[in-house]
Amino acid sequence: MLLTPEQEKIGRENFSDAVGVTRRDFLKGAAAVGAGAGAMYFGYEKLKGKPVRTAFIGTGDEGNVLISEHPTDYMEIVAIADLRPANLKRTFTGSHPEARRGLNAVLGAAKASEIRTFASHRELLAKKDELGLEAVVIAVPLNQHAPIALECMEAGLHVLCEKLMAQNITDCKKMIRTADSKGLLLAVGHQRHYSVLYENAAHLTGMGLLGDIKFIRAQWHRNNSFPDSDAWRKWDYDGYAKPDHEHLLKLEKDGVLKDLGYESAKQLVDWRLYNSTGGGLMAELGSHQMDAASIFLGKVHPVAVQGFGGRNFYGIQGVGPKDKWTDDREIDDQIFVTFEFPGKHYSEDKNDLAIVTYSSMSTNSWEPYGEAVFGSRGTIVMKTEKEALLYKEPSKDSPGGFEQRIWVVNSQEGGSVLDSYETGAASGPGGGAGAEEKVSRGYREEMEHFCYCIRSGENKLRCPGKVAMADAIMALTANLAMKLKKRIVFKDEWFDPASDAAPETDEQVINS
């Protein structure tokens, strides 16, 4: 959805004012805790005791983002492990001035030099006692999430694993059961659960300010169609992959990669493009946004999903530049899915549905990524995890739309509703406070809370295994619906960790 800068400003100010007014008491009370925005929003405190001794397994693009954001008051990084020497190296030197600053910049070179490096997670685990290791953060390709998380939990370590939780639901259930039986924490990195912006938006939708939400439109569109450009084709195009080619080809020749679940060096580096190592656009991008959609709809499970996915650009002779004709990727390059979610009165009336559409494409970037939540009284637009805009629906007596500043008032029936100013001019009560602040995407808060729960013994993680498994069920069942070209109805037992039922083994899904 494209808005003018002025319309966006109005939307940001509307959102900010609505949060300020409806959460005044919460914000005042929370500020008194005095332990940072994450702690105040998500119910944790400053750490009592020493920072948690943590190792990172996987120091690629995302591992490096997390390492740069790691909260030193809560977490002490004692070791890092990766199969790729260039990625281990850049973890110290940094590879992006903001997102991946590197340990030397974050901790100082002297402190960073105390951090041990290992060439695989197995070498790391062999030294866990010597390192006094308590926890690991796992940021490796999807096919490795379950096996590595299970090995780490068997070794008695708490786990924060990147999303998608696992490549199938049977593995998700194994992970949850192992964590439970060993009394360990298992957190999964769907960071929107720790985003103040999303928390505030969910507060507004939860209090009914948008009225009845009947539609959420989420999308993540990018353009990788130009020659020599593709963030997911790293073997050919990534400056940090090239120096590792020789080393990785040797690991391939020696059978090391096969033992770990990779067919080749190229597959390890380009893991997102292949079915045996990745989960396609739905797992990589869509899972985050379906996570957000289900939060906005009250954390309910969907009723059904259907959709279209296709590899309609890459590998097709004559379509796009020549380097794309020889591209051997297996994953779809565009997906369009439709989820049916239950409305509040679904159990009494099956027509009370909310629809969520998700699209992701690789050949057009007109719209930025985000989610738009459409209610009968208002609309919230979440943009790139950094901005939230709020608009009111026009009614007979009170204007609305993109140009309208609005205000939250008490309704005659009780509860809060949106009201509009007399003019379409920008500034009103509250003045849009907070709109210009740097917005955290939630990575730091996610790691703080993980460490806080380890030290305090409280297991109140916001994205524990069970919640993350629901996100995996949505993403992977959408993949099945696209592959099998049919509408799939979700079953309650898939979401139950105690049941062995899973969509990928469900006879009604795969055989009918």
Ligand X SMILES: NC(=O)c1ccc[n+]([C@@H]2O[C@H](COP(=O)([O-])OP(=O)(O)OC[C@H]3O[C@@H](n4cnc5c(N)ncnc54)[C@H](O)[C@@H]3O)[C@@H](O)[C@H]2O)c1
Check residue 158 for interaction with ligand X (CB under 6 A): no
φ/ψ (deg, to 5) at 152: -65, -40
**Chosen residue from 67, 83, 165, 196 binding ligand X by CB under 6 A:** 83
**Chosen residue from 63, 370, 378, 434 binding ligand X by CB under 6 A:** 63
Look up residue 408 and give its DSSP letter: E
Check residue 307 for interaction with ligand X (CB under 6 A): no
Q: What are the tokens at 314?
A: 């890459």
**Chosen residue from 13, 17, 61, 371 binding ligand X by CB under 6 A:** 61
Task: Name the minimum Å distance from CB 277 to ligand X.
Answer: 9
Place of tokens 């959460």: 23
Cβ nearer to ligand X, comparing 152 with 204: 152
* Sole window of 80-88, 149-157, 292-300, 392-400 interacting with ligand X (rule: CB under 6 A): 80-88
* Sole window of 56-64, 292-300, 407-415, 426-434 interacting with ligand X (rule: CB under 6 A): 56-64
Element (H, E) at 361: strand 353-361
Question: Parallel, antiparallel, or unpaired: how do β-strands 416-420 and 52-57 relate?
Answer: unpaired
Check residue 103 for interaction with ligand X (CB under 6 A): no
**Chosen residue from 139, 273, 461, 476 binding ligand X by CB under 6 A:** 139
Task: Name the minimum Å distance from CB 252 to ligand X.
Answer: 13
Check residue 264 for interaction with ligand X (CB under 6 A): no
What is the chain's Cα-based Rg? 23
For ligand X, which residue has the nearest CB?
60
Task: Tell me the C-alpha distance between 155 and 120, whole Å.
Answer: 15
Torsion of CA 40, 42, 48, 49, to 10 degrees: -130
How many C-beta neighbours within 10 Å does residue 239 have? 10
Check residue 81 for interaction with ligand X (CB under 6 A): yes
Element (H, E) at 177: helix 169-182
φ/ψ (deg, to 5) at 35: -125, 35
Cβ nearer to ligand X, comparing 13 with 446: 446
Task: Tell me the C-alpha distance between 290 and 213, whole Å.
Answer: 15
Task: Name the minimum Å distance from CB 101 to ligand X.
Answer: 16
Check residue 120 for interaction with ligand X (CB under 6 A): yes
Check residue 144 for interaction with ligand X (CB under 6 A): yes
Task: Name the minimum Å distance from CB 91 to ligand X.
Answer: 9
Alpha helices in 353-493 (DSSP H): 443-456, 465-484
Task: Name the minimum Å distance from CB 397 to ligand X.
Answer: 43
Check residue 70 for interaction with ligand X (CB under 6 A): no
Place of tokens 């300020």: 20
Element (H, E) at 334: strand 334-342
Task: Name the minimum Å distance from CB 497 to ligand X.
Answer: 21
Q: Nearest to residue 82, comparing CAs of 58, 111, 100?
A: 58
Task: Tell me the C-alpha distance between 259 and 253, whole Å.
Answer: 12
Cβ nearer to ligand X, comparing 448 with 506: 448
**Chosen residue from 87, 91, 224, 404 binding ligand X by CB under 6 A:** 87
Check residue 371 for interaction with ligand X (CB under 6 A): no
Are 67 and 88 within 8 A, CB to CB? no
Check residue 434 for interaction with ligand X (CB under 6 A): no
How many C-beta neighbours within 10 Å does residue 321 have? 11
Task: Tell me the C-alpha distance between 456 and 33, whole Å.
Answer: 17
Are 44 and 439 within 8 A, CB to CB? no
**Chosen residue from 69, 134, 284, 340 binding ligand X by CB under 6 A:** 284
**Chosen residue from 55, 57, 305, 474 binding ligand X by CB under 6 A:** 57
Check residue 192 for interaction with ligand X (CB under 6 A): no
**Chosen residue from 17, 162, 327, 332 binding ligand X by CB under 6 A:** 162
List CB contacts of 322: < 8 A, sequence separation 6 or more.
Answer: 227
**Chosen residue from 51, 71, 189, 432 binding ligand X by CB under 6 A:** 189
Check residue 149 for interaction with ligand X (CB under 6 A): no
> Residue 160, class by beta-carbon neighbours within 10 Å (0-12 exposed, 13-18 middle, 19+ buried)?
buried
* Sole window of 57-65, 101-109, 303-311, 473-481 interacting with ligand X (rule: CB under 6 A): 57-65
**Chosen residue from 82, 252, 291, 506 binding ligand X by CB under 6 A:** 82
Where on the chain is the footprint of ligand X (CB under 6 A)?
Answer: 57-63, 81-84, 87, 120-121, 139-142, 144, 162-163, 189, 191, 260, 284
